[in-house]
């Protein structure tokens, strides 16, 4: 492999991965708290750090990610989710039912779109690895709701949620189960994400956002660059490896 990159591959084919990716992003969100906003700029970063019970596959269908199986009664008013065991948070705690319950109930309270999708009921702990919700009205598409990034039902430690109370989460409280963890957020400058070495993927091959999302790059720097020309120039010069929201008229460059 070339300097500054690592190699991986099989069948005699090597894939080269840079140690660091530099990304020029066109907007900076007001918060990275996944439960309080549906802003695209928030969830594009957060999806690297957090996971949900379900993630969307390449066809847009919900697939179990942090749960391993689920079931519902005939009229879809009671759902039970069996969690994967051994999934670790980025603070070293194992994910259990209390964390899922605290996360999803906070999500229902903070996110108006989520509550419209699930108008009644709260999630309850059955035991360490089982969670259920009982509803007054059927919710036929609950797995779809729980896999939708537009209202991201991210799973965090219960201890973090309890400590935050009614306040938005600070950067040191943004702890998930995903392949990257927050290292720093310098307002008006950048966010740095670091590879989470203890990430526990589900066994499925990656499809869309679902499956094995193990990181291949150690560090991602996401720079907030609001000027379109600056993003393009940085991409052409090699300052940025990836740039968002390039003008259509500049695609040929």
Rounded to whole angstroms, the Cα distance separating 247 from 172 reads 35
What confidence score (pLDDT) does residue 14 get?
61
Q: Which residues pair with 82 in a beta bridge?
A: 69, 130
Q: Which residue has the higher pLDDT, 252 or 159?
A: 159
What confidence score (pLDDT) does residue 142 get?
96
Closest CA to 214 of 4, 11, 15, 1: 15
pLDDT band for 2, please (50, 70, 90 cuts): very low
Token reading at 167: 């306040």
Distance of CA 178 to the CA centre of its chain: 6
Query: Is the pLDDT at 5 greater than 80, yes or no?
Result: no
- Tens of pLDDT, residues 93-115: 999 999 999 999 999 999 988 99
Q: Annotate 198-231 with b (16+ C-beta within 10 A) or e (fewer).
A: ebbbbeeeeeebbbebebebbbbbbbbbeeeeeb
Closest CA to 35 of 141, 222, 188, 166: 166
Task: Please give the average per-residue pLDDT across 222-236, as a whole number.
Answer: 96
- Tens of pLDDT, residues 10-45: 444 567 899 999 999 999 999 999 999 989 999 999
What confidence score (pLDDT) does residue 9 get?
46
Task: Please give the average per-residue pLDDT across 198-218, as a whole number.
Answer: 94
Token reading at 14: 């090597």
């Amino acid at each position: 492999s070339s300097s500054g990159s690592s190699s991986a591959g099989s069948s005699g084919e090597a894939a080269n991965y840079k140690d660091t990716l530099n990304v020029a992003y066109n907007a900076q969100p007001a918060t990275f708290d996944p439960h309080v906003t549906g802003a695209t700029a928030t969830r594009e970063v957060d999806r690297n750090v957090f996971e949900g019970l379900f993630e969307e596959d390449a066809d847009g269908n919900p697939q179990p990610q942090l749960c391993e199986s689920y079931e519902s009664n005939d009229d879809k008013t009671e759902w039970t989710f069996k969690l994967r065991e051994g999934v670790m948070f980025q603070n070293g705690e194992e994910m259990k039912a209390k964390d899922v319950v605290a996360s999803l109930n906070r999500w229902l309270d903070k996110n108006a779109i989520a509550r419209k999708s699930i108008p009644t009921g709260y999630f309850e702990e059955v035991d360490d690895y089982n969670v259920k919700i009982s509803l007054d009205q059927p919710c036929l598409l609950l797995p779809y709701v729980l896999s939708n990034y537009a209202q991201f039902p991210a799973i965090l430690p219960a201890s973090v949620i309890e400590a935050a109370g009614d306040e938005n989460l600070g950067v040191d409280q943004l702890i998930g189960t995903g392949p990257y963890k927050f290292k720093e957020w310098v307002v008006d400058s950048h966010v740095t994400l670091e590879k989470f070495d203890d990430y526990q993927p589900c066994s499925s091959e990656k499809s869309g956002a679902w499956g094995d999302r193990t990181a291949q790059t150690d560090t991602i720097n996401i720079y907030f660059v609001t000027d379109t020309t600056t993003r393009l120039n940085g991409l052409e010069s090699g300052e940025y490896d990836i740039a968002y929201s390039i003008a259509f008229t500049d695609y040929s460059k």
